[in-house]
Structure 1
Amino acid sequence: MRLISRSFRPNGRIPGRCAFAVRSPKGHVRLSANRNPHLAWSGAPVGTRSFVLTCIDADAPTRPDDVNQEGREVPADLPRAPFVHWLMVDIPPEVTELAEGSCSDGVVARGKTAPPGPAGARQGMNDYTGWFQSDATMAGTYLGYDGPCPPWNDARIHHYTFEVLATDLERCPVEGPFTLADLRAALDGHVLARASLVGRYSLNPRIRIR
């Protein structure tokens, strides 16, 4: 399988309009357009009954000590962990493209309750749910796509892997606001093929991504 995007090139910079936040001279960052990027895939094997889509940041800090703290920097060698930005299941086999902004267009405080997407598809919970749990103005259940917002003082560039999986499932056996762990368990033995595309992003003013 092959996965491409007209929003960014492979291993290139994800545009600010597809991020949760962009750099700002005041307060370091401001909320952005938060549009899902364009994605298109091809080469699914015979027997594909549905597609699954994920987007995961592999570079989330494992300790919050230095995150977004004035006069400090998140060290590049700090151990990292995945941060989920998008989970979607039950994408019909005839759907092989998502337009930019078709599933997310703007930041929704407390999270999108019914994110748009292909007819029949369902979207799971991303990790902004946990990130904002102690924020009185933003706390909620975040479903669907919410784009990059790495720490503005992180010394490491973050890598976001978009992945499409062809499955033999007409309906993925996950329910409600499902998580990545739920999805991985449900897909065990049902993935026929996969394709991925990596984009990079940083809010650190010292870092320039080409």
Structure 2
Amino acid sequence: MVFLLPVRPQSTQPATKNLQAAQPNKSMAPMQPAKTSSFMTTDKKAQVSGIRIENEQGAGGFVGHTDKGVSVVEPDMDVRVVLFGIHLDEIDIVGFTPTDNCSDAAVLIDRNKFATQSGRRVVVIYQFASNSLYKLCVRQKPHPDYPHELPIHLIDEAHCWVSTNIPPRQYYFSMPLKIVIIIVLLVLSDLFTPHFDTHTAANDD
């Protein structure tokens, strides 16, 4: 005699736990890619590395340099002052002061009167008064977002100075010593110069 046990029906629906694991959690917001902010400044600071003096239109004016590198020019003559450096296109004003204060500069040249201006070179025409040492003054253009006027900066370095004090000529020998040297040379020249004996030449004839 065989007894048949009833068969337990299997559920056709997936388990709730598995269903929750399979479905995405709608309560969590999807992850967004991180935003990156790039910061780029447009501020450029003009830096003058040195100056050079050139004669204007072939005329005289530039004398030379001192032992310290100071440019020497003749007073009251137009010369070309060439500024070298980087970001020089940001310079707004150029001047020269006989003191340590740029407010004492007799003339301030606006950028509209520059002979040449580029990122690495600025040329101005200037005339220096006599008996003085001049130091370079520059002012940078204001930032477009902050249009207030910037202060004038003094470049207190010897290779950016200009002097109209022409030093006296230096002689290697004093004048009396020069006269003695000339006399000695004349005597030596006479000793080593062959002389023509006119009396001997007449007897030979």
Alignment TM-score, normalising by the size of structure 1: 0.34
More helix, by proportion? 2
Alignment TM-score, normalising by the size of structure 2: 0.35
